[in-house]
Chain A
Amino acid sequence: MSWRRLRTLLRREMLATYRDPFTMTILVAVPLVALLLFGFVLSTKVKHMALGVHDASDSPASRRLVADLAAGGTFDPRPFATREALERALVSGKISTALVIPPDFARDFGRASGDLAPGSARPEVQVLYDGGEATLAGNAEAFLRSLVSATGAALVETPPRGPKRGTGVDVVTSALFNPTLDGVPFMVSGTFGFVLSFLTTLITAVSIVNERQAGTFDQLQVTPATAVEILLGKILPLGAVFAMDVVLMMVIGGLVLGVWPQGNVLFFVSVSAFYVLVSLALGLIFSATSATAAEAVQKTVLFSIPLVQLSGFAFPIRNMPTIVRWLTELLPATHYIRLSRAIYLRGAGPLTLLPELGFLVLFGVILIGYALRTIEARG
């Protein structure tokens, strides 16, 4: 390892990267657009959602329920006189969630508060939602449940006796539920994982294969430069750009979306910078093992599809089948996203995160080691 050679390699890579307006635009614009896009548009937060209401009971209890639903600001209840009208609105897409309060709602409440033999009817409401908008509707439904059960509990003056009778809704579930359904911090902290995985790999994926096609990689390999020097010369300058991206995303996420990291900023940037190097090394592997730039990009894209699905960035890992859950552990991104959320949302420090940090280091050793081998390889 020669410092002079490394400096020479670094200087060239920096000149090439910083002089290329297209690459620089991508390096700055994509993280910010992704952050704002995921933060605003894909946010799972439910706000002013049109809720069709058919109140067949038209009783003090049912009117109280509808008023409580409207008060939260999450739903804008719209009354429908008949059930048919409500269903037509659902089909036409005017509303995606609806609540049907049956005629005997008030009567059942009356019974529930008094002595009741087990097995007789409990108060019921029906929630209809458009299954096509699964995520949003699912969230809305869960929120609706929690609101209904809260109102229900308030309406029932005497707490129910006996085993697990309650008000028809499992109250335990709603206690675990994020009451404001605010998905922005979750998405913001996850976006770091998405951007730092996808963009890093994509940028380096074309790097070696392009140099190989231009002939400069052969030239580089007949000079005294070693594989370690070539690797560091490639990933350090880009690593610096991505470290700046991390800071930029933190600031924009804070100023625009109001999400600031709960944990130590320096710790978060350090973990992110290390993850960037690991991810850049992965891109170099794709690059060094591809014959053309198109092939390298295809490998990156193919790799990035499961990245979105399986890393826990968008879909919760704990709901996946066991085998898939094991697969997710094989993605470095899964571990980084866990780390970034822990630091960002829960303010976790290095000690509590040791196992995940260990995984990340392990991936780093494997991927950087393999990247070195592919750079050194002679056909």
Chain B
Amino acid sequence: MIIQTRNLTKRFGDFTAVDRLSIQVERGKIFAFLGANGSGKSTTIRMLIGLLRPTEGTVEVDGVDVIHHPRRVRDRIGYMGQKVSLYQGLSIRENAEFYAGLYGLAGADLERRWGALRERFSLADTEQEKPEDLPAGIRQRAGLALSTLHAPRLLFLDEPTAGVDVRSRALFWELIQDEAAAGVTVFVTTHFLEETDYCDWVCFIDEGRLIADAAPEELRRRYSGGYRVALEGAPAPRDRIGQLFPGGQIESTPAGLRLVLPTLEPAALAALDRLVAEQSGLRVHIEQPPMNEVFRRVLGERATTGGAA
């Protein structure tokens, strides 16, 4: 575990922003930290990187007690805040030189590192521009490039895709996934629920409390109506379907049948393949339950039971 918190709590006066939060993040994974505005996401991230002192609880990041030794992890973590922290009035290149200097990166090392990032993040055309003259999508990309300049093991991204258009968001997530593929652990907060599908693990907090903590598939299984598989274009025998998908429910629709599956495991996909091979002309359309639905249910369950999932 590269991040581990136990009963992490932050109170501002009477207001409890983060309430006894215990989370664990596995090395090399993309960890999504979800919640509405004001749910305690940023407060948590600030405690994890040593910008904020918790009221109670413990935090361990890459083996370091961040509460007592916040400086010890600074070489190993990269951070991009909600406001992308580029200095206005300085070009992207000058910003890069500035942050590199603070991490002791200069000369040929800087050239090599920045050269590679510039290519990967498509910043070659804009590196002489100042951030205030650039669109949000490029600024965000440049911000991510700068926070990975010193090759951190752990990246903290606070709402990195807020205010960015859809195309830039997709591009941005590709870059984040590249980082994870290279072995970097990514801790990312977002309020775009559909973005959790880019992630390996999802934590959902509400009013400072952890209310869901699982892989996205697991959340779908537990908190949604399941995958809806429309079978149309050719009559499909109900019995055969029942045989192939023992956990599924079969419903009739005007155009044919609808099969509802709690999860979409490899076995279920193989069974669908077989069905299509057996019934020529059968069209299959799989509808993934949207994360919005999942979280509506998570919240709904919390409202009725008051407990954590």
Contacts and interface: CB of A to CB of B under 8 A. Distances in A.
Interface string A349-365: 00000000000000000
B51 A223 contact: no
B173 interface: no
Interface stretch (A133-141, A214-222, A321-329): A214-222
Nearest to A221: B51
Interface in B246-262: none
Contact of A12 (B85, B87, B106): B87
A225 interface: yes
Nearest to A210: B88
A213 to B, nearest CB: 8
Contact of A222 (B77, B83, B98, B104): B77
A378 interface: yes
Interface majority SS (helix, strand, loop, mixed), chain B: loop
B53 A214 contact: no
Q: Report the 10 A-B pairs with minimum CB-CB distance, sorted nearest first.
A: A8-B101, A215-B83, A219-B85, A223-B102, A215-B85, A378-B53, A215-B81, A216-B85, A222-B79, A224-B74
A26 interface: no
B51 A5 contact: no
Nearest to B43: A379
Interface of A: 2, 4-5, 7-9, 11-12, 15-16, 19-20, 213-216, 218-226, 378-379
Contacts of B90: 12, 15-16
Contacts of B53: 378-379
26 contacts: A4-B106, A5-B102, A7-B101, A8-B101, A11-B101, A15-B89, A16-B87, A20-B89, A213-B83, A214-B87, A215-B83, A215-B84, A215-B85, A216-B86, A218-B79, A218-B85, A219-B99, A220-B102, A222-B49, A222-B50, A222-B51, A223-B74, A224-B103, A225-B102, A226-B71, A378-B51
A343 to B, nearest CB: 38
Given A11-B101, A214-B83, 11 more contacts: A5-B101, A12-B94, A15-B89, A215-B81, A218-B85, A219-B79, A223-B74, A223-B102, A224-B102, A226-B71, A378-B51
B99 A218 contact: no
Interface residues of B, number: 31
Nearest to B147: A219
Interface string B198-237: 0000000000000000000000000000000000000000
Contacts of A222: 49-51, 74, 77, 79
B70 interface: yes
Contact of A224 (B71, B82, B83, B84): B71
A379 B83 contact: no
B75 interface: yes
Contacts of A19: 89
B162 interface: no
A2 B102 CA distance: 9
Contacts of A221: 51
